[in-house]
Amino acid sequence: MPENPIITFENVKKQYEEDVVLKNINLKLERGKFYTLLGPSGCGKTTILNLIAGFTEVTEGTVTINGEKVNDVPPNKRTVNTVFQDYALFPHMNVFENIAFGLRIKKMDTKTIEEKVASVLKMMRLSGYENRAISEMSGGQRQRVAIARALVNEPDVLLLDEPLSALDLKLRTDMQYELRELQQRLGITFVFVTHDQEEALAMSDEIFVMKDGKIVQSGTPVDIYDEPINRYVADFIGESNIVEATMIQDYEISFVGRTFECVDAGIAANERVEVVIRPEDLVLTTPEKGKLTVKVDTQLFRGVHYEIIGYDSEGNEWMVHSTKKATVGEMVGLFFNPEDIHVMRIGETEKEFDARLESYEEE
Ligand X SMILES: Nc1ncnc2c1ncn2[C@@H]1O[C@H](COP(=O)(O)OP(=O)(O)OP(=O)(O)O)[C@@H](O)[C@H]1O
The answer to the question of residue 36 lying near Mg ion (CB under 5 A) is no
Give the residue among 190, 185, 226 at the shortest CA–CA distance from 205.
190
Comparing every residue's Cβ against Mg ion, the nearest one is: 46
Binds ligand X (CB under 6 A): choice among 27, 43, 224, 234: 43
The minimum distance between CB 195 and ligand X, in angstroms, equals: 5
Task: Using alpha carbons only, give the angle 332, 334, 338 rounded to the nearest 5 degrees.
Answer: 165
Q: How far is the C-alpha of 137 from the C-alpha of 141, rounded, in Å?
A: 6
**How does DSSP classify residue 94?**
B
The minimum distance between CB 7 and ligand X, in angstroms, equals: 17
Nearer to Mg ion, 57 or 352 (CB): 57
Contact 6, 157 (CB under 8 A): yes
**Strand residue runs (E) in the chain:** 7-16, 19-29, 34-38, 60-65, 68-69, 80-83, 157-161, 189-194, 206-211, 214-219, 241-249, 252-255, 258-261, 272-277, 283-285, 292-301, 306-311, 317-322, 331-335, 342-344
The minimum distance between CB 42 and ligand X, in angstroms, equals: 4
Interacting partner of 240 out of Mg ion, ligand X, none (Cβ under 5 to 8 A depending on kind): none
Nearer to Mg ion, 160 or 275 (CB): 160
| Pattern 221-260, Mg ion, x by CB under 5 A | ----------------------------------------
Binds Mg ion (CB under 5 A): choice among 36, 46, 81, 218: 46
Binds ligand X (CB under 6 A): choice among 4, 41, 135, 323: 41
Q: How far is the C-alpha of 265 from the C-alpha of 291, rounded, in Å?
A: 21
Residues that bind Mg ion (CB under 5 A): 46
Residues that bind ligand X (CB under 6 A): 16, 19, 21, 39, 41-47, 195
